[in-house]
């Protein structure tokens, strides 16, 4: 598909190929001069000096195709890209919603044409057959079993095989697909490879290749189309809650609950906005879905922009799981867990799921990596089973309550080089140490790939005001060498944490 140029001057888009500028695409006016895709720009200029030339921007092209594919989501959930300029729409089971295949094809093409795209479409029972047809005829609908007859008269180039194969076939005197099909398969396979034969079979309707849809098919979809685009928040909210009711009813029939919900807002001008909400446990109630979306919509950093209005709102459950019915009234504990999970879902919907965390203990001695924050939505159950190291009875705390992610360098005066600090300066304030305990030696984990580092000697120190610190000396005097420079280390001191 290409955007039409309005004026009459022939214009082309060029791209660099093998160090030469070649025509990448052209408009009708340029085609009338006899220009063709793949022709060097110099030749084209010689044929037609008044040519207007644009540079190809493949990223923008891909983006545009993506936007069109987004827009096509309103017809079927299975839309696949066929780069560079094609789209597959799997309309199995969807066509009747739009009044049949012919009506659907006409609707899609008309809507795209009004947006000034040139469209060539075909409907067939295999994707490759339809693709082959679009190369030469527009609007063809092939009935089941008629594929071979439909594609037979088309030239072999329509198959979209590589340049070498197309040329080879033409040199062998096989000009149309019908010619190729009439040869025995083993001859074709021996000459052009099994991939080409498979493609040929698919084009002839004998076996289907899978398409590669952009999005996984949601388990449940409900949608509402509007004759008149809707703009106001109240209508949108009311629609969402009505859709949520339908979705919940559909899921309840199968005993399922949603773990991930997607609301898609299709704007009349083709922009599609999808909003995803994850939940920590399967949701089976309309109010909860409602509230999650309300929180999410309120907190969007770029709010939902209705533009000229939405003409389709779709709610889908992208991930579902079977709900085990629990009897809540007799077991308060289960009820509490549910409530907590719902609270976490709400907070996560508003501020992001990575911001609500629980901690899992890690099997390491290095204090700063001993605990791993993980999203609470997915790991609540794992965290409640985690095995933390129990504290030692009748010992004062051995680990600080507040730990600096990056230890801060301090200036230390120590009586003996290996001893505890006598005085240190942290954040521009000087602290005199009145008592210290240590060292607690923590060696780096040399068996890990990133475990090379200096041994740390940790000291617990208290200053004259009663503040308690966890400081360490990075490296041992005379015994360790810098891993990079292999020089004896000059140990530095760091502040790593604060004790209560």
Partner 1 sequence: MTSARMSALASLRGSIERIEAQSGSPSLARAALGHAELDAALQGGLALGAVHEVFCEGGRQSAAATGFVAGLARRVTPRRPLIWVRQDFSEREVGRLSMSGLAELGLDPRRLVMVRASDVEDALRTTADALACDAVGAVVLEVWGETHKLDLVASRKLTLAAQGAGVTGVLLRIAASPAPSTAETRWIVRAAHSPPASPWQMWGAPLFDAELVRNRHGPLGRWIMEWKCDECLFSEFTAADSQSVAAAPAHRPHQARAQLQDRLAG
Give me the residues that bind partner 1 (CB under 8 A), please.
Answer: 335-340, 342-344, 346-347, 350-351, 355-359, 361, 367, 370-371, 373, 376, 380, 383-386, 388-391, 393-394, 396-405, 427, 429, 434-437, 460, 462, 464-468, 497-500
CB of 424 to partner 1, least distance (A): 13
Structure tokens at 101: 């295949």
Q: Which is nearer to partner 1, 310 or 469 (CB)?
A: 469
Q: Which is nearer to partner 1, 273 or 399 (CB)?
A: 399
Taking alpha carbons only, the member of 340, 442, 436 closest to residue 383 is 340
CB of 316 to partner 1, least distance (A): 27
Judging by DSSP bridges, how do beta strands 140-141 and 122-123 pair with one another?
parallel
Rounded CA separation 265/286 (Å) = 19
CB of 498 to partner 1, least distance (A): 3
Consecutive H or E run containing 315: strand 310-322
**Is residue 313 a contact partner of residue 236, using CB atoms and an 8 Å limit?**
yes
Q: Which is nearer to partner 1, 228 or 363 (CB)?
A: 363
Q: Which is nearer to partner 1, 247 or 348 (CB)?
A: 348
Q: Which is nearer to partner 1, 405 or 487 (CB)?
A: 405
CB of 288 to partner 1, least distance (A): 13
Q: Which is nearer to partner 1, 33 or 499 (CB)?
A: 499
Consecutive H or E run containing 287: helix 286-298
**Is residue 121 a contact partner of residue 138, using CB atoms and an 8 Å limit?**
yes
Give CA separation, 331 vs 17, 90, 334, 435, in Å. Answer: 70, 48, 6, 51
3-state secondary structure 77-116: CCEEEECCCEEEECCCCCHHHHCCHHHHHHHHHHHHHHCC
CB of 102 to partner 1, least distance (A): 53
- Other C-beta atoms lying within 10 Å of the C-beta of residue 176: 16
Give CA separation, 181 vs 50, 178, 202, 444, in Å. Answer: 44, 5, 11, 68
**Is residue 48 a contact partner of residue 7, using CB atoms and an 8 Å limit?**
no
Taking alpha carbons only, the member of 122, 144, 135 closest to residue 37 is 135
Q: Which is nearer to partner 1, 110 or 298 (CB)?
A: 298
CB of 318 to partner 1, least distance (A): 25
- Other C-beta atoms lying within 10 Å of the C-beta of residue 186: 9
Q: Which is nearer to partner 1, 1 or 370 (CB)?
A: 370
CB of 285 to partner 1, least distance (A): 16
CB of 284 to partner 1, least distance (A): 18
């Amino acid at each position: 598909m290409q955007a039409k140029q309005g004026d009459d001057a022939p214009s082309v888009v060029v791209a660099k190929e093998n160090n030469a500028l070649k025509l990448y695409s052209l408009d009708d006016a340029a085609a009338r001069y006899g220009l063709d895709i793949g022709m060097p720009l110099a030749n084209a200029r010689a044929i037609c000096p008044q040519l207007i030339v644009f540079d190809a921007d493949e990223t923008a092209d891909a983006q545009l195709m993506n936007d069109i594919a987004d827009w096509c989501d309103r017809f079927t959930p299975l839309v696949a890209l066929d780069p560079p300029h094609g789209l597959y729409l799997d309309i199995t089971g969807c066509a009747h919603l739009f009044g049949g295949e012919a009506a659907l094809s006409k609707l899609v093409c008309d809507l795209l044409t009004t947006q000034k795209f040139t469209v060539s479409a075909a409907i067939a029972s295999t994707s490759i057959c339809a693709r082959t047809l679009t190369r030469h005829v527009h609007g063809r609908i092939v009935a089941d079993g008629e594929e071979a007859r439909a594609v037979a008269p088309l030239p072999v180039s329509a198959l979209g095989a590589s340049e070498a194969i197309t040329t080879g076939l033409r040199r062998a005197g096989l000009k149309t697909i019908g010619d190729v099909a009439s040869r025995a398969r083993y001859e074709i396979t021996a000459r052009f490879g099994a991939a080409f034969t498979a493609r040929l079979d698919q084009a002839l309707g004998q076996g289907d290749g899978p398409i590669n849809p952009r999005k996984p098919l949601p388990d449940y979809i409900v949608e509402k189309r509007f004759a008149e685009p809707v703009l106001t928040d109240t209508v949108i909210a009311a629609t969402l809650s009505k859709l949520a009711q339908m979705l919940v009813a559909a899921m309840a029939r199968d005993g399922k609950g949603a773990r991930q919900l997607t609301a898609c807002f299709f704007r009349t001008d083709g922009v599609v906005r999808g909003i995803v909400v994850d939940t920590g446990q399967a949701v089976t109630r309309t109010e909860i879905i409602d509230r999650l979306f309300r929180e999410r919509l309120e907190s969007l950093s770029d709010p939902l922009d209705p533009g000229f209005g939405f003409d389709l709102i779709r709610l889908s459950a992208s991930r579902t799981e079977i709900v085990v019915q629990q009897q809540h009234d007799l077991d308060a504990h289960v009820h509490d867990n549910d409530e907590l999970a719902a609270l976490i879902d709400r907070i996560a919907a508003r501020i992001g799921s990575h911001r609500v965390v629980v901690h899992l203990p890690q099997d390491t001695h290095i204090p700063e990596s001993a605990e791993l924050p993980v999203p609470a939505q997915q790991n609540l159950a794992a965290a409640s089973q985690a095995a933390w190291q129990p504290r030692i009875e009748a010992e004062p705390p051995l680990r600080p309550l507040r730990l600096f992610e990056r230890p801060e360098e301090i200036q230390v005066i120590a009586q003996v080089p290996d001893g505890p600090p006598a005085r240190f300066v942290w954040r521009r304030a000087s602290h005199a140490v009145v008592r210290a305990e240590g060292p607690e030696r923590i060696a780096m984990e040399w068996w890990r790939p990133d475990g090379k580092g200096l041994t740390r000697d940790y000291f617990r120190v208290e200053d004259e005001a009663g503040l308690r610190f966890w400081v360490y000396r990075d490296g041992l005097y005379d015994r360790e060498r810098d891993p990079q420079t292999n020089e004896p280390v000059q140990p530095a001191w760091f502040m790593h944490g604060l004790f209560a």
